[in-house]
Amino acid sequence: MTKEQFDDLLSRVGPRIAKRNTRMRAAIEPGERLCICLRYLVTGDCYKTIAFSFRVGVTTVSNIIGEVCQAIWDCLVEEFMPVPTKQDWSAIAEGFLQRWNFPNCLGSIDGKHVVIQAPPRSGSKYRNYKNAFSIVLLAVVDAEYLFRMVDVGAYGRNSDGGTLNNCPFGEDLKDGKLDLPGDCVITGAEHLGKLPHVFVGDEAFPLRRNLLRPFPGTHLSRERRVFNYRLSRARLTVECAFGILASRWRMYRRSITLSPEKAELCVKATCILHNFIRVTGRHTGARPVVMEEGEDELVLHDLTQLGTNNAARAAIRVRETFAGYFSAEGAVPWQGDV
């Protein structure tokens, strides 16, 4: 984050986090309060270390982090992570077509387990499949590595598919309340008819008409292998976004020793700050991974089935149509070795 970006951020959240002076003591300035919060998000240091660095109390650090994270989310979310309109979804689809050669794609969806300290008397609710305690960050990412939707706080024991089904985004997606663009014809493949706009995910998600997952199994036809490659190529945007997030905000490299509620605030703050930094366009740190033509190292050749996902016939037909398109009209030169 550059000085200009910090000043911009302070101008947005400063009035929200400012405190009044009292007879007993002068209030901590908004700039210092923001620095304390960002110091925790960037390093993940314990409260005592941060308190010693800024010469404030440990309880003061704890209160500041919660208040400032909430203020960052409230002040930035409307501008940097608004609810997409139909025009926004269409622009996202155009971005995936131009940059990732995947038509009618509205975003890449995946879940990230954020490791936390085991909450008291929580039983096994937060224990995930890696025997760690975590909360789930479910995100939809566009072609430019921007978070378009996040849902934070699901129990770590839940699968990505279960988290999607239980979150508001998943319910709206299932009920058709997201104001998505209508079915349309892909240019150059008019004979396929109108195809729906879809999200792409890995094998942890269910197959739906508007949510595509890879073909399961190892002994696949060439057409299905090509589809899995093209889908995994588009799905890399969410993996890259998570990588950028963990690289920039080092609290993700440690176990977060906060309550689940405060950890949720910190995760939401880092997600919206991720968008803020990328949109303002002055960041010069780590660059996301961008696949160029001929780079097949990140291809998922053999995807195994992790569970039973019974899909409707319409969803199966949509996936088969996309598979046929990627091996014919939508083929790209560098998929020949798949």
Task: Count Cβ atoms within 10 A of the Cβ of residue 302 and give its class: 0-12 exposed, 13-18 middle, 19 or more buried.
Answer: exposed
Q: Which pLDDT score, from 0 to 100, does residue 123 have? A: 87
Q: Which pLDDT score, from 0 to 100, does residue 77 have? A: 95
In the numeric block, the tokens 């020949």 are attached to: 336
Closest CA to 265 of 76, 73, 127, 137: 73
Strand partners, 155: 135
Q: Which pLDDT score, from 0 to 100, does residue 298 have? A: 32
Task: Count Cβ atoms within 10 A of the Cβ of residue 67 and give its class: 0-12 exposed, 13-18 middle, 19 or more buried.
Answer: middle
pLDDT, one tens digit per residue, over 265-309 is: 999 999 999 999 999 875 444 343 333 333 333 333 333 333 445
How far is Cα 254 from Cα 247, in angstroms, rounded to an integer? 12
Instruction: Give 138-207 as a DSSP string.
Output: EEEE-TTS-EEEEEEEEETTS-HHHHHHHSHHHHHHHHT-S-PPPPEEPTT-GGG-EE--EEE--TTSPP
* pLDDT bucket at 310, cuts 50 / 70 / 90: low
Q: Which pLDDT score, from 0 to 100, does residue 288 have? A: 37
Whether the pLDDT of residue 249 is over 60: the answer is yes
The mean pLDDT value for 85-114 works out to 94
Give the list of residues 6+ apart from residue 338 with CB closer than 8 angstroms, or none. Answer: 222, 225, 226, 229, 296, 299, 301
Q: pTM of the full predicted structure? A: 0.87
Closest CA to 110 of 7, 3, 243, 219: 243
C-alpha radius of gyration, the chain, whole number: 22
Whether the pLDDT of residue 336 is over 70: the answer is yes
Q: Which pLDDT score, from 0 to 100, does residue 311 have? A: 63
Helical segments of the chain, H only:
3-17, 30-43, 47-54, 58-80, 86-100, 160-166, 168-175, 222-248, 260-280, 313-326
How far separated are the first and last CA of the chain, in Å rounded? 40
How far is Cα 200 from Cα 212, in angstroms, rounded to an integer? 5
Whether the pLDDT of residue 58 is over 80: the answer is yes
Q: Which pLDDT score, from 0 to 100, does residue 305 have? A: 39
Q: Which pLDDT score, from 0 to 100, does residue 101 have? A: 92
Q: Which pLDDT score, from 0 to 100, does residue 270 have? A: 96
Lowest mean pLDDT of 8-22, 102-116, 297-311, 317-331, name the range: 297-311
CB neighbourhood size of 64 (10 A)? 24
pLDDT, one tens digit per residue, over 203-245 is: 989 999 999 999 998 888 999 999 999 999 999 999 999 999 9
Lowest mean pLDDT of 8-22, 96-110, 276-290, name the range: 276-290
The mean pLDDT value for 125-151 works out to 93
The mean pLDDT value for 182-194 works out to 88
Question: Domain coordinates of the chain in residue numbers?
Answer: 3-80, 86-335
Are 88 and 25 spatial neighbours (Cβ–Cβ below 8 Å)?
Answer: no
Are 289 and 188 spatial neighbours (Cβ–Cβ below 8 Å)?
Answer: no
User: Which has more pLDDT, 25 or 11?
Assistant: 11
